[in-house]
Amino acid sequence: MKVVSSGSKYIFEVVKAKNGEATLKVITSSEKYIFRHSRYNPSREAGKWVNTFDLSDKKNIILMGLGLGYELEVLASRIKEHQRIYVIEKSREIFSFFKKTSPQNEIFNDNRIVFIVNTHAKDLVSIFRNLSPSSSLCILRHPSTETMFSDYYSNVECILLGSNTQKMTAIVLVGKGIVAPFIIKDIAIALKELKCSVEFFPLRRHGEDLLRRAQQVKPDFVFALDGTGLDFPWIRRLSCPKVAWFVDNPFYFLDYIDRNNLLFCWDEDYINDLQETGFKNVYFLPLATNSNIFNPNPLKQSDLEKYACEVSFVGSIGKPKGALYKERNQAMNNMCNDEMHKLFDGLMMKRMKKLLSGRSGHLRDILGSYYDTIDMPTRLFIDRRNDFETGSLLREHVVSVLRSFDCLLFGNQELSRMCSETCRFMGKINYHLELPKLYKACSVNINVTRPQLLSIVNQRIYDISATRSFMLTDYRRFLNNIFSFDINAICFRSLGELNDKVKYYLKNEKERRQIAHEMYKNVILRHTYTQRIKEMLEIIKEFL
Is the C-alpha dihedral spanning 158, 161, 164, 167 positive or negative?
Answer: negative
Q: Select from 248, 202, 242, 241 the least CA-distant residue to 226.
A: 248
What's the average model confidence in pLDDT over 333-359?
A: 58
CA distances from 139 to 63, 284, 525 (A): 6, 21, 9
pLDDT by residue (tens digit) across 247-267?
988 888 887 788 889 999 999
What's the average model confidence in pLDDT over 287-300?
A: 92
What's the average model confidence in pLDDT over 151-156?
A: 78
Measured distance CA(533)–CA(525) in Å, rounded:
14
The pLDDT value recorded for residue 143 is: 76
What's the average model confidence in pLDDT over 444-464?
A: 92
The pLDDT value recorded for residue 465 is: 97
User: Where is mean pLDDT largest: 34-43, 186-195, 334-343, 468-477?
Assistant: 468-477
What's the average model confidence in pLDDT over 196-212?
A: 88
3-state secondary structure 197-232: EEEEEECCCCCHHHHHHHHHHCCCEEEEECCCCCCC
pLDDT by residue (tens digit) across 264-278?
999 998 898 899 888
Q: CB count, 10 Å around CB of 336?
A: 17
Higher-confidence position of 335 and 139: 139
Which segment of 100-114, 189-203, 239-253, 503-517 scores lowest on mean pLDDT? 100-114
Measured distance CA(64)–CA(475) in Å, rounded:
33
The pLDDT value recorded for residue 7 is: 46
Q: Is the pLDDT of residue 345 over 80?
A: no
The pLDDT value recorded for residue 203 is: 85
Higher-confidence position of 358 and 492: 492
Measured distance CA(31)–CA(232) in Å, rounded:
59
Q: What percent of the chain is modeled with pLDDT above 70? A: 81
The pLDDT value recorded for residue 311 is: 98
- Ramachandran region, residue 529 (left: φ > 0; alpha: ψ -120 to 50; beta: rest): alpha
Query: Where does the pLDDT of residue 380 fall: very low under 50, low under 70, confident under 90, or very high at 90 and above?
Result: low
Interacting residues of 244 by C-beta distance below 8 A, sequence separation 6+: 223, 224, 225, 226, 227, 230, 253, 257, 261, 262, 263, 264
CA angle 483, 487, 489 (to 5 degrees): 130
What's the average model confidence in pLDDT over 448-460?
A: 89
The pLDDT value recorded for residue 362 is: 60
Q: Is the pLDDT of residue 339 over 60?
A: no
- Strand-pair partners of 407: 311, 423
Q: Are 49 and 73 in contact (CB under 8 A)?
A: no
Which domains are delineated in the chain? 42-163 (3.40.50.150), 169-288+530-543 (3.40.50.2000), 305-507 (3.40.50)
Q: Are 252 and 273 in contact (CB under 8 A)?
A: no
Q: Select from 492, 507, 308, 313 the least CA-distant residue to 400.
A: 313
Measured distance CA(528)–CA(530) in Å, rounded:
5
Higher-confidence position of 540 and 329: 540
Q: CB count, 10 Å around CB of 318?
A: 16
The pLDDT value recorded for residue 2 is: 42
Q: Is the pLDDT of residue 134 over 50?
A: no
Amino acid at the residue 14: V
The pLDDT value recorded for residue 5 is: 44
